[in-house]
Structure formats: structure tokens, C-alpha cells
Amino acid sequence: MHIQIINFNIKVSGEDYEKGAMELAPVFADLPGLISKHWLADEATNTYGGVYLWADKK
């Protein structure tokens, strides 16, 4: 197993980020080898991202 953490800063409301995340969730669900993705959001600092759990590191 492999864990990948990605953070980025964007100026967007938490509500808009959640809306975009819900639209993109099916795309991530179809990624080969992806076991799960956990969305990250800190609206106070405009920091967003995700924690990805992959079957292996490729």
C-alpha cells in the first residue's frame, strides 16, 4: 500500500470546494489502484487537498 497526501491553496469557499469534490468523486472512484480518497479542507487558510490510499506505488 502507498499513501499520498496532496495540499494546495486556492481561494474558494468551503461550500464551493465541497460541490466540486462531489462532482469529481466519480472520476477518482474509477482510478486504477486507488483504494480510497479522503478530501481535506481548511477554509480558514484556503488549504485544500486529499489523502489517497493506493494499492501500490506505481
pTM here is 0.83
**Structural domain range at position 22:** 1-33
3-state secondary structure (DSSP) of residue 12: coil
- Check residue 14 and give its pLDDT: 84
* Domain-embedded: residue 2: yes
CB 1 within 8 A of CB 57: no
Distance CA 35, CA 31 (A): 9
From first to last of its 58 residues, what are the pLDDT tens digits of the chain? 999 999 999 998 888 988 998 999 999 999 999 999 999 999 999 999 999 999 998 7
As for how many domains the chain has, the answer is 1
Instruction: Tell which residue, 32, 30, 31, 24, has the closest CA to residue 49.
Output: 24
- Check residue 33 and give its pLDDT: 96
CA distances from 37 to 10, 23 (A): 19, 14
* Domain-embedded: residue 27: yes
